[in-house]
Structure 1
Amino acid sequence: MTEKNSILKRPHKKPILWDAFFKATDTQKPLVIFCHGYKGFKDWGAWDLVAEAFSEADLFFVKFNFSNNGGTMDQPIDFPDLEAFAENNYSKELEDLDALIKFLHSTSNPYQAEINPNKLIVIGHSRGGGIATIKASEDQRITKLITWASVSDFGRRTATSSELEQWKKDGVKYVLNGRTKQQLPHNYQFYEDFKANETRLNIEQAVKKLNIPHLIIHSKDDPSVHYTEAEELHSWNPKSILFPIENSDHVFGASHPWLKGDLPKPLKTVIQKSIAFINK
């Protein structure tokens, strides 16, 4: 069963758009929540096929758009709402993930009978891996963590010393989206929020606090987030499992749009390894 584009409304906050993939059996299944990365969205590339694979493995799979990722309820793909994108930050993404977990575990969730409240797995890709890691370190509801091509540090990605003064002066900086050719705005509040919450947003410290199983999957040839970041994550939590993917890239062979009916081989491996880890 697939339920696309459900809306989680929240008072005084932007709503969250989410999808659920599962077999409707009225039996409780482990809940898997997937967090997309920077310049990402729930409908990117092959993510629907990924969700279907987890569903076929009898898992309740949820993917969602962070509320300020630049999509809208009517246009969830790409970035029609650049004002929202400009106001995004790490704290808001953590808040979004918390709100979604609370809702999925609540009686307000129409699919509550399909979810095992004692088995919650969070998967994060790229920047979403950092968000998932921090959330897993502070939330006892999360029982397993899986990171795909995850970043290991938010600080060095937030601002360089050379651009910081200009960013503060202008109030905004822009990053080119190579695929859509949009100039994506980041308001200076992004840096201010990071500095105000720097201790909480330290991925290294979050990893060291983990006391749940952690699977780290990363391509050795990742051009966007170097494999050394996976090695850092693993070194901070020696109990974690590091699984390298050979001859692949940051998105494990997928692209957007993904028009094929089958998954690329590296991404299939990622899914198989993740499902085996969940079921272990």
Structure 2
Amino acid sequence: MEITKKQNIILSNPETRDFLADAFYSETDNKLPLVIFVHGYKGYKDWGAWNLMAEKFAKAGFFFVKFNFSHNGTTVEDPDNFADLEAFGKNNYSKELSDLGVVIDYFIKDPKVDDQKIILIGHSRGGGISIVKTFEDERINGLITLASVDTLDRFPDGASLEKWKNEGVYYVLNGRTKQEMPHYYQFYENFEQDAHRFDVEMATEMAKAHLLIVHGTNDESVEVKNAEHLHILNPNSELFLVENANHTFGAKEPWTEAGLPQDLNTVTEKCIDFINLKM
């Protein structure tokens, strides 16, 4: 089966700035469910094995989209590196939700897409963003979280928060690239100003979409109890735990092997089965 890949499509968001998206799909006369992958913190659309995952979804009969958030630190000219740390520092949840809305609005109009079947797949922090967006946007009728956080209130507190406020910026070391990645205090202010909107717990409880919660039991970044908590909040959800899987289900950057890592392959097949069953 031939897969069409349209990569580095430029999307414009007047509320943020231009960013890139990819679409993977099989050539068919049938309208395809739209699956949108939402990357996480220090993530980007071409990280690790995400392209292989996209191909697997496309072969399974989905119109699969992945994209870079406008302020994730990459640029239109350099989508594979954190070439704009200033933009990274100016990112916030409002911008990410706005970008995700632009992605949905753009691809739902594609004649190959079945606009009655829209599914978000959010990884890590992207899971929290996807949960909030699913609650806000009734067009979304499927939601899958991969190693998702159960709250977006993941900020320093106490003296660390006060120091951040006074200095205006704090830095986090990127272990892979060795870059000191800035976070400006506006990020916290944006959260505080609209904390009710960013309430992942409330959005999980209220979301009407079919929900699959996937997590590795050996996640080093987001503890598995986050997934168990989301499942408790939404008892109609399905919880799928992958024994001994880590935060990225075996993938890493760069990913040089021809196939998906075993755990991510298992997760992808589970997601495909879930969508086919529920949608």
Alignment TM-score, normalising by the size of structure 1: 0.96
Aligned to 2:156: 159
Q: Secondary structure at the match of 1:98?
A: helix
Q: Which aligned pairs between 1:96-245 and structure 2 lie closer than 5 A?
A: 96-106=99-109, 112-155=110-153, 157-245=154-242
Q: Distance in 1 between matches of 2:268 and 2:187?
A: 33
Paired residues of 1:27 and 1:113 also in contact (CA < 8 A): no
Q: Deviations over 1:127-160 (max 9, x none)?
A: 00000000001110001100000000111x1222
Gaps of 5+ in 1: 107-111
Q: Deviations over 1:169-218 (max 9, x none)?
A: 11111001000000000000000000001011111000010122100000
Q: Does 1:41 align with 2:41?
A: no
Q: Distance in 1 between matches of 2:223 and 2:159?
A: 23
Question: Which of 92, 95, 98 is the aligned partner of 1:95?
Answer: 98
Q: Does 1:252 align with 2:249?
A: yes
Aligned pairs, number: 274
Paired residues of 2:22 and 2:65 also in contact (CA < 8 A): yes
Q: Distance in 1 between matches of 2:175 and 2:15?
A: 33
The offset of 1:12, in angstroms, is 5.7
Q: Distance in 1 between matches of 2:195 and 2:242?
A: 31
Q: Secondary structure at the match of 1:194?
A: helix
Q: Secondary structure at the match of 1:94?
A: helix
Runs of 4+ in 1 over 6 A off after TM superposition: none
Q: Does 1:29 align with 2:28?
A: no
The offset of 1:125, in angstroms, is 0.1
Same amino acid, percent of matched pairs = 51
Q: Distance in 2 between matches of 1:93 and 1:76?
A: 17
Q: Does 1:263 align with 2:266?
A: no
Q: Distance in 2 between matches of 1:148 and 1:138?
A: 20
Paired residues of 2:19 and 2:75 also in contact (CA < 8 A): no
Q: Distance in 1 between matches of 2:93 and 2:131?
A: 12
Q: Distance in 2 between matches of 1:12 and 1:214?
A: 29
Aligned to 1:109: none
The offset of 1:10, in angstroms, is 3.1
Q: Distance in 2 between matches of 1:154 and 1:9?
A: 26
Alignment TM-score, normalising by the size of structure 2: 0.96
Paired residues of 1:26 and 1:113 also in contact (CA < 8 A): no
Amino acid in structure 2 at the alignment position of 1:146: I
Q: Call closer, same or farther: CA 1:118–1:185 in 2, change over 3 Å.
A: same
> RMSD of the TM alignment (CA)?
0.9
Amino acid in structure 1 at the alignment position of 2:92: N
Instruction: Give the stretch that moved more between structures: 248-257 or 158-167.
Output: 158-167
Q: Distance in 2 between matches of 1:27 and 1:219?
A: 34
Q: Distance in 1 between matches of 2:126 and 2:72?
A: 12
Amino acid in structure 1 at the alignment position of 2:98: E
Gaps of 5+ in 2: none
The offset of 1:248, in angstroms, is 1.4
Amino acid in structure 1 at the alignment position of 2:159: S
The offset of 1:103, in angstroms, is 1.3
The offset of 1:48, in angstroms, is 0.2
Q: Does 1:17 align with 2:14?
A: no
